[in-house]
Amino acid sequence: MVASDMTADAARGGRTAPAAPLLDVQGLSKRYPGVLALDHVDFSLQPGEVHILFGENGAGKSTMISILAGANRPSDGVIHFRGETVELDSVHHARELGISAVFQEFSLVPQMTVEENLFLGAEHTRFGLLDKGDLHRRAEAILKRLGFPLRPGDRVQHLTRAEQQMVEIAKAFRSELSVLILDEPTASLTERETAQLFGLIEQVKAEGVGVIYITHRMSEIRRIGDRITVLRDGRYIDTVDAKTTDEDELVRLMTGRVIDELFPKVNYAPGASLLTVERLTTQSRNVVDASIEVKAGEIVGLAGLVGAGKSEVARACFGLEPVASGQVTLNNEDVTGLSAKRMLDKGFFYLPPDRREEGLVMMRSVRENVSLPSLDRPPFAVGPLLDRGGERRATAELMERLNLQPPRLERAVDHFSGGNQQKVLLAKSLTREVQVFAFDEPTVGVDVGTRVAIYEFIRDLCEAGAGILLISSDLPEVLHLSNRVYVFYRGEVKAELVGEEITEEAVLRHFFERDAA
Amino acid sequence: MSASETEKATPERRGPDYWLKLLFVRLGVLPFLLVIAVVVFTLLSDNFLTGRNLMNVVRQSVYLTIVSLGQMFALLTGGFDLSVGTILALTSVVGAMVMASVYGAMPEMAGLAIAIGALAGILAGTTIGAVNGIGVAVFNVSPFIMTLGIASVGFGIALYLTGGVPVYGMPIEFGDTFGFGTWFGIPSPIYVAVLFIVLVYFIVNWTRFGRYLYAVGGNIKAARLSGISTRFTLFTTYVICGFLAAVSGMLLTARLDTGEANIGASMPLESIAACVIAGVSLRGGVGRVENVVLGALFIGLVQNGMNLARIESYLQTVVLGGLLILAVVADQIRLRYIANMRD
């Protein structure tokens, strides 16, 4: 009730005078043990505005929206909602006020149906029992209003990622809405679904809802953004107009550096072919008939949306995805379908995108993590036994080279920053002889300084004659470091671009279905 | 108790509270429990803190210590073994039956009968471990279901083989040597336990396999991506766990002088308790051999102390269960402290 009155007020306010802000945040800080994730950030949101939050991974965007959505509590600072100071102590509380967030990580229960998920935690009851008929009708009404082609009775686990995202968005609309927070909502949507979402955003804008929108994509910023607030390393940098600020300026604000400083110059010297993938199809069909090649001394970029097959093709080469047909050749030797262990021995090293999930044993020390892939050889072993002295010396040397901060080899990996954890992951690949490195999202969640260090690390490997596969969703990264790029769409290689052909427009053209345009 | 003592501490003023807390974070709950147990039982009974009684504690703890070492392998990989009790029982029954029949056929060759019987018993127990290993490593059955199911299977087989009656007829030398024998004044089972403690310490800390245990338990995906055969690691883990439980089963048979299907029922709980109290994580990837030995000794100490204090045996199991849960609660509190204290 209260929420609906408020929305009506806001709508009126939005049309008459220069409106009072919906949200006004001052000096917002969030301190985690050892890190200041958010450092006195100011932010305001007008009714009917799309306000973009822009910054690198780890800049504080996620922390910021999780506080505004009530999922996290600030260490410091005040939040005014419609002029009144509020303390958002739970997601539920924020929802009651009309602030709803759609996070990248879905909060859906896969075994439950669409409508059960929609009203999870806000079920309407009669005499203490679920009023299923009413819930069903309301679910249908919401889906119809949003124009989502979903059936309320379908189980969420059977939906595609895009459809699950729609459910997540629909959840925000189950009560009256004043602030909608969207965290990279188009990451897994097709062009057509994206257009639909943007239509929806226009619609709620007109109703006076304020939208906080996180994206990395320049084209989206132009299309729907009104203002952009840039964060870097947890600090507020600037708020600029979305229509008039150009890309170079945004990158400069985001990274604190101009593009040339961020990406090193690489001297490519393509030599003999190291890795060839011919007409590879995986059993799950997330890679279909894909052919790629990596030569010694070059960096080959793989671009495409999440789930487009760019990561899966490397995983299939490394024995992590079952191969249905096609051939993988390394050094003129057929290595199709070999296990990760065998592929390591052949000289192929795959570094996974998610350190916590697949890359590192978080509760063990840096030393144990670094040496793990090579415990069967010197300097880490003597015969069947571990050479603990040799291990200590070798890992110390590697971590000094990669500048681990603080240089404590015996500390659990969990207690390091994201950037330093990434250095530990990279160091693993230097413990043995490797000819082809596959870096899958190598700079996710690291600070700018480490990012530059990682790029230089990759350049050095390339110039030393290794073949590099660079798999990344960060487009500038792929554009500036690769001398050849394959663009993936729905498991297929849509295009191969070489040298001068590698431009943002050229790559993006192959990102989406073309029939929609 | 240690938890409430340290809870009020603040890092800013570094009084004794702070150092207690630091000790708790570093070493876990075990040192606190040990000190409390020793103080309490010394007050309750004059006979507790005597050299003779402490030697008794060590000897009585041998069986649990060896089983706990095996349990630690399973826990390190993120699983556990609920069938250790059954393995003890089956080992005891099979070992005793084979030993008795060989001895019956060749009464003049007691040594040979002992060797063949012990080997057969240990082989039977290890086989159970191998079956667990195949289920967990190859068929991806959760360790909970696999070892729970096998516990029932093995116990049934042991009862079926004996008809529920103890097995007699082993050579007297078996009990005299491995059950009641002493060497330089120290009971012989203690030597066996020390041998396996050293061996396990070596495997866990100085071999590739030992390191892989931690990696598989800590993050099985990262382990696989680092080229580790997770299947082999898991399989071997349960084989070793079964083997150690079987050794313990044979030693206990020597002490009892009979093969029994009813021994070891409390072993799953006690061995998991010993490990958890010693700081082995139920989530896998964390734990130290030396602490597990202390954990098993602690449980032996508590049981011995309660006996001396004439606490009824029914109540003793209440205390044990309570200690296990207390240890897990303390571990949670410790994790929270670690999160707050990292530098």
Q: Which two tokens stand for residue B67?
A: 């089983």
Question: Given this model, what pLDDT does residue A415 score?
Answer: 83
Chain A residue at shortest CA distance from B228: A341
Question: Given this model, what pLDDT does residue A449 score?
Answer: 77
Domain CATH code at residue B87? 1.10.3470
Question: Given this model, what pLDDT does residue B340 score?
Answer: 67
CA distances from B195 to B201, B213, B244 (A): 10, 21, 12
Segment B171-190 shows an average pLDDT of: 92
Report the distance separating Cα A190 and Cα A192, nearest Å.
5
- Specify whether the CB–CB gap between B121 and B249 falls below 8 A: yes
Test mutation, B25, B203, B216, B219, chain A, max A CBs within 10 A: B219
List pLDDT tens digits, range B203-247: 999 999 999 999 999 999 999 999 999 999 999 999 999 999 999
The residue ranges of DSSP E strands in B59-218, in sequence order, are 182-183, 186-187
Report the distance separating Cα B73 and Cα B13, nearest Å.
40
B285 contacts A364? CB cut-off 8 A: yes
Q: Which two tokens stand for residue B37?
A: 């147990």
- Residues of B within 8 A of A363 (CB-CB) are 218, 281, 285-286
Question: Given this model, what pLDDT does residue A18 score?
Answer: 54
Could you give the angle at the alpha carbon of A94 between the alpha carbons of A91 and A95, nearest 5°? 85
A368 contacts B215? CB cut-off 8 A: yes
Residue B286, domain extent: 60-311
Question: Given this model, what pLDDT does residue B4 score?
Answer: 42
**Whether the predicted pLDDT of B254 surpasses 80:** yes
Q: Model-level pTM?
A: 0.80
- B132-151 per-residue burial string, b: 16 or more CB within 10 A, e: under 16: bbbbbbeeebebeebbebbb
**Which amino acid is it at B182?**
T
Number of structural domains found in chain B = 1
**Whether the predicted pLDDT of B58 surpasses 50:** yes
On whether any CB of chain B is under 8 Å from the CB of A35, the answer is no
- Specify whether the CB–CB gap between B68 and B196 falls below 8 A: no
Is residue B130, in this structure, part of any structural domain at all? yes
Among the residue ranges A5-9, A219-223, B81-85, B90-94, the one predicted with the least confidence is A5-9
Under CATH, which architecture does the A2-98+178-256 domain have?
Answer: 3-Layer(aba) Sandwich (3.40)
Test mutation, B76, B207, B212, B226, chain A, max A CBs within 10 A: B226
Confidence class for position B7, pLDDT limits 50, 70, 90: very low
**Residue B143: cis peptide before it, omega within 30 degrees of 0:** no
Return left, alpha or beta for A445; rule: phi > 0 is left, psi -120 to 50 is alpha, else beta: left
Q: Closest partner residue to B227 among A344, A357, A381, by Cβ?
A: A344
Is residue B19, in this structure, part of any structural domain at all? no
- Specify whether the CB–CB gap between B258 and B167 falls below 8 A: yes
Q: Closest partner residue to A33 among B211, B285, B342, by Cβ?
A: B342
- End-to-end Cα, chain A, rounded Å: 42
Question: What fold is seen in the domain A259-347+433-517?
Answer: Rossmann fold (3.40.50)
**Whether the predicted pLDDT of B107 surpasses 80:** yes
Q: Where are the domains of chain A?
A: 2-98+178-256, 107-175, 259-347+433-517, 361-432
What's the per-residue H, E or C state across B194-247? HHHHHHHHHHHHHEHHHHHHHHHHHCHHHHHHCCCCHHHHHHHHHHHHHHHHHH
Report the distance separating Cα A379 and Cα A278, nearest Å.
36
Mean pLDDT score of chain B: 90
- Specify whether the CB–CB gap between A261 and A305 falls below 8 A: no
Q: Over the Cα atoms of chain B, what is R_g? A: 21
CA A151 from centre of chain? 29
Is residue B51, in this structure, part of any structural domain at all? no
A375 contacts B211? CB cut-off 8 A: yes
Bigger pLDDT: A161 vs B165: B165
Residue A438 CB burial class (10 angstroms; 0-12, 13-18, ≥19): buried
- Per-residue pLDDT of chain A (517 residues), as tens digits, is 344 444 444 444 334 445 688 999 999 998 876 678 888 999 999 999 999 998 876 688 888 998 999 888 898 999 999 988 998 888 888 888 889 888 877 788 889 999 888 888 777 777 777 888 888 888 888 888 877 888 888 898 888 777 888 888 888 888 788 999 998 887 667 777 788 788 888 988 888 899 999 887 777 888 899 999 999 888 899 999 988 888 788 888 887 777 777 889 999 999 999 999 999 999 989 999 999 999 999 999 999 877 789 999 999 999 999 999 999 999 999 999 999 999 999 999 999 988 888 999 999 999 999 999 999 988 999 988 999 999 999 999 999 999 888 889 999 998 887 889 999 999 999 999 999 999 999 987 777 778 888 999 999 999 999 999 999 988 888 999 999 999 998 899 999 999 889 988 888 888 765 544 3
- Specify whether the CB–CB gap between B65 and B267 falls below 8 A: no
Could you give the angle at the alpha carbon of B339 between the alpha carbons of B334 and B341, nearest 5°? 90
Segment B76-80 shows an average pLDDT of: 95
Is residue B36, in this structure, part of any structural domain at all? no
* Signed CA dihedral, A344, A349, A353, A355: sign only: positive
Strand partners, A38: A30
Segment B86-101 shows an average pLDDT of: 96
